[in-house]
C-alpha cells in the first residue's frame, strides 16, 4: 500500500522533472523571476538581522546609570550588587565609587579648580548597568524595576539612540514583512498563470485520464508537483543570490572597515532561515498551482 503510494509519487516527481527539463529556457526564466522576487525581501531580512546582531555587540550598547542616595551604606551597595547579579536581564555592571567619579571629573573635563573648591564630594556612588539586550521591552522592564529599589536616588537612561535603533529595526522588519507579502502574492500569481498555460497544453491528457477513471487528485498531482518544484528552485535561486550579494558587500565592507581597524562581516542566513526560505518558496509555488488547478480543471469538458 505505502510502497504503491510512494511509487506513484516518485513517478509524478520524475514526470515533473522531465517536463521542467523539456522546456529549459521558459522554466529557467520563471525560476529566475521567482528567485529575484524572493531574494529581495529575504535579502533585506538578512541585512536587518545582521544590523540587529551588530547592534548587540557594539561597545556603545545602552547603559543604565543607577545613582545611590547620598547617605547610602556599604550594606546598601551589597544589596544592589546582589540584585544586579541575580537579574537575568542584566548583562553586566560596573561599580563607580563617588571618589573615583570625582577624580574622573577632575581629569576629564578640566574641572580640577572647581572641584578643589568643594567642601565635600557632591557626587553619589553609582552603578553602570549593561542591559542584556537592547529591545525597548527589556530596558523598560529593567527601568521600572530599578526605580522601586529603595537605595536608589535616581535611575538614568539615555534611551534616545537605543530607541532610534530599535525603531529602525522594527521599521526594517515591517518593511520586510510587507515586501514578503506582496512578492508572495506576485509569485502565487505567476504560478497561477504558468499552470493555466500548462493545463491548456495538457487538455487532451486530462480529458483522457478523466474518461478512464482518474480522480481529481490524480489529475491535480503533476501540476501541484510542478508548482512546488519550481517554487523550491526559485527559493534555491534566491538563496544563491543572497549569498553572492553578501559576499560582494563583505569585500566592500572589508576595505572600509580596514581603514577603521574594525572587524565587521555580514553573516549569510543561517540553516534554519534557509530551510524556511526553501519550504516557503515551495509552498508558494504549490499554492499558486493549487488555486490555478481548482479554477481551470473544472472547465475541461468531456467529449
Partner 1 sequence: MIQFNHVSKRFPDGYMALSNIDLTIETGEMAFVTGHSGAGKSTLLKLIAAIERPTSGSITINGQNIAQLKPAALPLLRRKIGFVFQDHKLLFDRNVFENVLLPLQISGFDRNTAASRVRAALDKVDLLKKEKVMPVTLSGGEQQRLCIARAVVHRPTILIADEPTGNLDTVYAKDIMAMFYSFHQVGVTVLIATHDASLLEDNHHRIIALQHGKLAA
- Interface residues toward partner 1, by CB under 8 A: 3-5, 7-8, 11, 204-205, 207-209, 211-216, 218, 302-303
**In this complex, which beta carbon is closest to partner 1, that of residue 79 or of residue 203?**
203
DSSP 172-220: HHHHHHHHHHHHHHHHHHHHHHHHHHHHHHTHHHHHHHHHTT--HHHHH
In the complex with partner 1, the residue whose CB is nearer, 171 or 218, is 218
* 113 CA to centre of own chain: 53
Three cell numbers written together for 185: 502574492
Query: What residues contact residue 223 under an 8 Å CB cut-off, 6+ apart?
Result: 195, 198, 199, 289, 292, 293
Query: With respect to partner 1, which residue has the nearer C-beta, 4 or 117?
Result: 4
Smallest distance, Å, CB 7 to partner 1?
6
Cβ at position 289, least distance to partner 1 in Å: 20
Tell the smallest beta-carbon distance from residue 21 to partner 1 (Å).
14
Q: Which one, 156 or 215, has the nearer CB to partner 1?
A: 215
Residue nearer to partner 1 on the CB measure, 119 or 212: 212
Give 153's DSSP letter: E
Closest separation in Å from C-beta 216 to partner 1:
8
Question: H/E element holding 127?
Answer: strand 126-131
The least distance separating partner 1 from the CB of residue 207, rounded to whole angstroms, comes to 8
For partner 1, the closer of residues 163 and 207 by Cβ is 207
Q: Which long-range contacts (CB under 8 A, 24 or more apart) does 215-224 make?
A: 216/297, 219/297, 220/290, 220/293, 220/297, 221/9, 221/12, 222/12, 222/15, 222/16, 222/19, 223/195, 223/198, 223/199, 223/289, 223/292, 223/293, 224/286, 224/289, 224/290, 224/293
Between 10 and 177, whose beta carbon lies closer to partner 1?
10
Q: In whole angstroms, how close is the CB of 20 to partner 1 at the nearest point?
A: 15
Q: Which is nearer to partner 1, 83 or 210 (CB)?
A: 210
Taking alpha carbons only, the member of 221, 164, 206, 232 closest to residue 300 is 206
Distance CA 285, CA 229 (A): 7
CB of 224 to partner 1, least distance (A): 16
CB of 212 to partner 1, least distance (A): 5
Q: How far apart are CA 290 and CA 284, in angstroms?
A: 10
Integer Cα distance of 240 and 222 in angstroms: 27
Amino acid at each position: 500500500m505505502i510502497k504503491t503510494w510512494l511509487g506513484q509519487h516518485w513517478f509524478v516527481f520524475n514526470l515533473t522533472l522531465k517536463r521542467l527539463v523539456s522546456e529549459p529556457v521558459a522554466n529557467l526564466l520563471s525560476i529566475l523571476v521567482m528567485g529575484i522576487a524572493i531574494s529581495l525581501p529575504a535579502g533585506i531580512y538578512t541585512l536587518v538581522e545582521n544590523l540587529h546582531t551588530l547592534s548587540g555587540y557594539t561597545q556603545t550598547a545602552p547603559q543604565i546609570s543607577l545613582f545611590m542616595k547620598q547617605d547610602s551604606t556599604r550594606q546598601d551597595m551589597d544589596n544592589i550588587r546582589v540584585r544586579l547579579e541575580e537579574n537575568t536581564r542584566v548583562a553586566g555592571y560596573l561599580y563607580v565609587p563617588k571618589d573615583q567619579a570625582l577624580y574622573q571629573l577632575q581629569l576629564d573635563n578640566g574641572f580640577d579648580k572647581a572641584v578643589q573648591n568643594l567642601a565635600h564630594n557632591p557626587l553619589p556612588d553609582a552603578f553602570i548597568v549593561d542591559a542584556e539586550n537592547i529591545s525597548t521591552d527589556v530596558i523598560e522592564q529593567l527601568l521600572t524595576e530599578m526605580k522601586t529599589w529603595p537605595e536608589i536616588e535616581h535611575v538614568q537612561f539615555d534611551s534616545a539612540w537605543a530607541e532610534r535603533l530599535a525603531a529602525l529595526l522594527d521599521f526594517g522588519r515591517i518593511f520586510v514583512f510587507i515586501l514578503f507579502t506582496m512578492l508572495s502574492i506576485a509569485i502565487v500569481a505567476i504560478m497561477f498563470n504558468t499552470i493555466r498555460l500548462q493545463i491548456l497544453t495538457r487538455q487532451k491528457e486530462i480529458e483522457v485520464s478523466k474518461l478512464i477513471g482518474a480522480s481529481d487528485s490524480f489529475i491535480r498531482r503533476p501540476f501541484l508537483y510542478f508548482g512546488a518544484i519550481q517554487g523550491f528552485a526559485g527559493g534555491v535561486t534566491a538563496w544563491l543570490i543572497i549569498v553572492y550579494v553578501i559576499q560582494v558587500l563583505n569585500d566592500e565592507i572589508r576595505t572600509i572597515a580596514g581603514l577603521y581597524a574594525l572587524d565587521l562581516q555580514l553573516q549569510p542566513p543561517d540553516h534554519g532561515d534557509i530551510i524556511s526560505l526553501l519550504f516557503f518558496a515551495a509552498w508558494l509555488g504549490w499554492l499558486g498551482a493549487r488555486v490555478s488547478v481548482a479554477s481551470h480543471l473544472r472547465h475541461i469538458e468531456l467529449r
